[in-house]
Structure 1
Amino acid sequence: MAIRMKTEVMLRATATCPSHSRSDIAIRDLEFAIDEPAERGGTNAGPTPTDTALAALIGCTNVIGHKCADRLGIDIGHLDISAKCAFDRRGVTLEEEIDVPFTRIELTVTSNGSASADDLTRLAAEVRKFCPLSKLFTGAGTEIVEIWQPAD
């Protein structure tokens, strides 16, 4: 008898916030800090909340990219992923409410596997369909420009 996976699960996280800028996050058996840099009154104990969101997109692209590659039979080997984000700071500085703070993200994904440029184009389209963080950003109005490329 096949085991059927749940279609919806509850994600949980808790935090102790010892200062105005630092949140000590606990997820499963992991603990990490989200903090602001010293020049903004933090202790630089971890990435900022906005840096963490961008890092989550990179991590999700890696995980979903490998799942989609396996499904498509594409060898992507390991990925190197970089992201550049145009971020409208007027909201976090309380200057004014901003509907789309992450205005544009450029995501460059480099595969060291044997996948061709055409394979990576097909793969990118699949990842866009299934990556929850990509969907979260694009649903909020962020323009995501992706470059999927084989390593030199």
Structure 2
Amino acid sequence: MAIKMKTSVTLAIEATCYGHSVAQVRTRDLAQIIDEPCERDGTNLGFTPTDTALSALAGCTNTIGHKCAKKLGVDIGNLKISVKCRFNRLGVTLTEEIDVPFEEIDLVVVADGSASQDDLNKVAVEVAKYCPLAKLYRRAGTIINEDWQLAG
């Protein structure tokens, strides 16, 4: 009898917050600190919430990229991922409500494997279909400009 994969699961995060900026966030047996820099009255012990959101996109691009490459039989090797975002700060400064605070993201992915540029482009198309973080940003109205390149 085949085991049926669950199609929907519950993800759980708990945060213990110390003051206005430091949050110790836990999931499974892991913990991380989310904080603000000193110039915003934080203690600079971790990424800001917005840094954390952008780093999740990089991590998801890596994971889903490797899954898609494997499915396609493409050697992408190791990836170097750069995420740069035009962020509208009017919301976080409480100046005005902003519908799309992450306005535009430039996502550059450099692969050092033996894949051709054509094969790398095929991986990029698949990643856009399956990366939940990219889908989250796009559906929120964020423009993501992706540039998948070969190293060297």
- The TM-score normalised by the length of structure 1 is 0.98
Matched, 1:86 2:94: no
For residues 129 and 65 of structure 1, the distance between their equivalents in structure 2, rounded to whole angstroms, comes to 11
Answering whether residue 67 of structure 2 is matched by residue 63 of structure 1, we say no
Give the distance between the partners of 1:30 and 1:45, measured in 2 at CA: 16
Structure 1 moving runs of 4+ over 3 Å: none
Secondary structure in structure 2 of the residue aligned to 1:137: helix
Q: Which residue of the partner structure matches residue 119 of structure 1?
A: 119
In the alignment, residue 137 of structure 1 is paired with which amino acid?
Answer: Y
Deviation track 1:70-112 (CA, whole Å, cap 9, x = no partner) reads 0001000111101100000000000000000000000000000
Q: Does 1:2 align with 2:10?
A: no
Task: Give the superposed CA RMSD.
Answer: 0.6
Q: Which residue type is aligned with residue 27 of structure 2?
A: I
C-alpha displacement of 1:3: 2.1
2:63 partner amino acid: V
The Cα of 1:5 is off from its aligned counterpart by 1.4
Gaps of 5+ in 1: none
Corresponding position: 1:22 with 2:22: yes
Helix, strand or coil at the partner of 1:105 = strand
Distance 2:48 2:72 in 1: 36
CA distance in 1: counterparts of 2:36 and 2:65, whole angstroms: 30
Segments of structure 2 that go 5 or more residues without pairing to the other structure are none
Alignment partner, residue 39 of structure 1: 39
2:101 & 2:145 partners in 1: Cα distance?
16
Percent of pairs with identical residues: 62
Alpha-carbon distance between aligned partners in 2 of 1:121 and 1:26, rounded to the nearest angstrom: 36
Looking at structure 2, the residues matched to 34 and 9 of structure 1 have their Cα atoms a distance apart, in angstroms, of 25
Count how many residue pairs are aligned between Structure 1 and Structure 2. 152
> Per-residue deviation at 1:2?
2.7
Distance 2:3 2:109 in 1: 34
- TM-score, normalising length: structure 2: 0.98
Partner of 1:129: 129
How far apart, in 1, do the equivalents of 2:54 and 2:48 lie?
10
- Aligned partners of 1:10 and 1:137: how far apart in 2? 20
Offset, 1:30: 0.3
SS of match in other structure, 1:17? strand
